[in-house]
Amino acid sequence: MTVVQSRSEITGATRRRSGRGSRQIGIKTVLILIATVALAPYLFMVVTSFKTNQQFADSFWQISFPLHFENYSVAWTQIQPYLLNTAIVAVISIVLILVIASISGFVLARYRFAGRGLIFGAVLVLMMVPGLANLIPLFIIMKDLGLLNTYIVLVVPYTVGGSVLGTILIRNFVQGIPQTLFDAARLDGASGARMYWSVMLPLSLPVLGTISLLTVSEVWNDFFWPLLVISDNNLRTVSVGLQFFQGQNATDYGPLMAGYLIASLPLVVLFTFLSKYFLAGVQGGVPGAH
């Protein structure tokens, strides 16, 4: 009887392992297919960036030799000013967003005052306002203030929009920090500003990094607003600059694809090396994640 039961248990365990193995193979296959479909345009862009127009016409998908690395020098010369402009706008926006959102989130999370819930509710309502609804009023305000064709007209929308999301994420993240840390700091004589600087900010680095990555991504990928408010070529961001670069090199596919590749590299590098911190910040800023 014991031998029969042992064989049955072994057979059952083998079947369960086999079932789990089959499911894992199926999941891995689906993930590989999704990754292949997602990376196919990027790989096509990389292959095309080393071609001349003749090679592009002769071999649309295949790699052609010799490889023309000079396409990258041509593309870099064209888009370098646009990359610099985008980096300037992104850095200024990130600094302003982190200052505004971190202070707002800290106050809403750790201070009790009349109307606190109402203020946070108003911030949540702002998240539901579509960006297109603000487009015309914002453009008219910027035009009347004489801010078109300046860095300010680019920084203000990103700062305002990023501060709303940043406040929500930081507020939820700070609420997950144990209150005993703030109580201990208060017993040691720390003021509110000192608790903000020495306790909250060091512990909130994951969510601050998440907000920074989201801001960089938004600035790097935004096309319509810079196209609308910037007509000076010296102030264009990379998304708009690539469009004009495409117009200047409509038939020169090698430098064109090289330009797209160079423009995408900063975001690819940032998200590749900081993805775990990005996920940690997002999870920490969601209610109930702590």
Label residue 63 by pLDDT band (50, 70, 90).
confident
Instruction: State the DSSP string of 112-123.
Output: --TTHHHHHHHH
Question: pTM for the full model?
Answer: 0.82
pLDDT at 23 over 90: no
Which pLDDT score is estimated for 152? Answer: 93
**47 near 67, Cβ under 8 Å?**
no
In this predicted model, which residue has the larger pLDDT, 99 or 54? Answer: 99
Tokens of 258: 């090289």
Task: Quick: pLDDT tens for 98-149.
Answer: 999 999 999 999 888 888 889 999 888 888 887 777 888 899 999 999 999 9
Helix axes 253-284, 238-248, angle to 10 degrees: 160
The region, left, alpha or beta by phi > 0 then psi within -120 to 50, assigned to residue 259 is: alpha
**Spatial distance between the Cα atoms of 102 and 106, rounded to a whole number of angstroms:** 6
Report how far residue 103's alpha carbon sits from residue 227's, in angstroms, rounded to the nearest whole number.
32
256: which 2 tokens? 């064109």
Distance CA 267, CA 248 (A): 25
How many contiguous H segments (helices) and E segments (strands) does the chain have? 13, 0
Q: How confident is the model at residue 25 (pLDDT cuts 50, 70, 90)?
A: confident
249 secondary structure, DSSP code:
T
Distance CA 35, CA 37 (A): 6
- C-alpha neighbours within 13 Å on the C-beta side of residue 163: 16
* Arithmetic mean of pLDDT over the chain: 84
Whether residue 108 contacts residue 171, with contact meaning beta carbons closer than 8 Å, is answered with yes
- Chain centroid offset of residue 290 CA: 23
